[in-house]
Each structure stands twice: as C-alpha cells, then as structure tokens.
Amino acid sequence: MGLSGVTVGILALQGAFVEHEAALQRLDRKIEVILVKTPEDLEKCNALIIPGGESTTIALLARLSGLTDPLKQFVSEKPVWGTCAGAILLSQTVENTKRGGQEVLGGMSVGIARNGWGSQVESFEAELTVNGLRDPETPFKGVFIRAPVILELKPGEADPPIEVVASLSPKLLPPALATPDHSNEPKTFVALRQGLHFLTTFHPELTRDDRFHEYFVRECVLPRLA
C-alpha cells in the first residue's frame, strides 16, 4: 500500500506537535496529518504520534479533553509513536514522577524514569548508533531535552519482542546512571520498537533529519494497513 489514504494523527494538547507535523509533510505530502484535540479527531486516524512536552500536563489535558480512554483503546489496536514525554506515556511503569504519580497509556513493556538526564540546563545533543533507518551508516544527531531514561525491558511471554532501534555511548550516561563495568543496557537505549509501537527518548522532530518519521511510517504504520 502507498502513502495515499494514510492518516497520521499528532496529539496536539501540549508540546512539539507542530514540529512533527512539519516533518511528516516534508516526508510525503500524500500523508494526511490531523492535529488531535478531541476523540472525534482520533477516530479519523490510522496511527498516532504523541509528542515531547511535559508528560504530566499532557496526561491531565487528555483527561480533561475526554481523550484518556479513547487513547488507551487506540494504543491497544493501532500504531503509536511516543517521543520524550510521549515515550513516558507509552511505558508500563514510571519512576521519578511528580507528586501524585504519572498516568500512562501503556502499550510498551518498558520501565522508564522521567528527567533521567537531569534538568533543562543538562540537555544535550549526541550522535546515535541506529539500526533499521534509511542510510544507517549516517549517524543521527539526537536532541535530548530533560529526556527520560529507559530502566528496564520487561516483555511478557505473550508480548511482541522489543527491538533496539537506536542507542548511545555508555560514556554519555550521567554518573548517577553509569556503572563501573559499563554494563549500562538498557539505559543506553534511546529508541525502541515493540510490534506496532515505537518510542524515542529524544526529539527527532527538532532536526531536519526525517529518517525516524520515515521509519515509523514504513515499519509500524504501513504494515498495519496492508
């Protein structure tokens, strides 16, 4: 199936949804993009991107917009990609939450920690080792802004396997996360795919390199529509 008729929604309650929209439009004008703000918007979508932003705020606004339950149902059936805050919402468990905890949508069998790299001033860019992207020999520069850290992979026997799509050097881990023998997996994992679901702990949408958007459409969205 080609890209005609493919409708990708972007949850547009808070965060970098405009940047994702621009990336998809650069990728292929045949993709219809919907900025999702209501359950009715969500019903029109074949797939969804949950952008970076503030995970607690996005979860609260989703609840106020009547989107929480429709989103959970959508995640259980269709392709979803979460970036940064979106990755937190797709996870199974969350550490370092604000008081009151973190509501999640689930979908991926991972444990994650909010702000694993520290505060805003400790944000950074780094070249990533990538697998499965177009032109994999070309490094991808990841933009990490108050990024979460993946703590563990915990798929059940009936769950799809988890594929590591991108990782970074253990040398870049903050001292609190590093171990003397450099056995830092899965803390070095920054992009994971599990079945139709995909997460990145960084912000691909803040670059002009659209290979992660192409990967999501090619590996997660089109197979679901075939």
Catalytic residue among 84, 197, 213, 220: 84
**Other Cβ atoms closer than 10 A to 171:** 10
Contacts of 189 (CB under 8 A, 6+ apart): 150, 153, 164, 166, 167
Active site residue 205: yes
Give the chain as a DSSP string.
Answer: --STT-EEEEE-SSSSHHHHHHHHHHH-TTSEEEEE-SHHHHHT-SEEEE-SS-HHHHHHHHHHTT-HHHHHHHHHHS-EEEETHHHHHHSSEEESPPTT-------S-EEEETTTT-SGGG-EEEEEEESSSSSTTS-EEEEESS--EEEEE---TTSPPEEEEEE--GGGS-TTT--TT---TTTTEEEEEETTEEEESS-GGGSS--HHHHHIIIIIIHHHH-
Active site residue 45: no
Burial class (CB in 10 A: 0-12, 13-18, 19+), 199: buried
Catalytic residue among 20, 21, 45, 205: 205
Q: Is residue 99 annotated as involved in ligand binding?
A: no
Q: Is residue 114 annotated as involved in ligand binding?
A: yes
Active site residue 84: yes
Catalytic residue among 20, 21, 45, 203: 203
Q: Is residue 53 annotated as involved in ligand binding?
A: yes
Q: Is residue 208 annotated as involved in ligand binding?
A: no
Binding annotation: 53-55, 114, 145-146
Binding annotation for L-glutamine: 53-55, 114, 145-146
Q: List active site positions.
A: 84, 203, 205
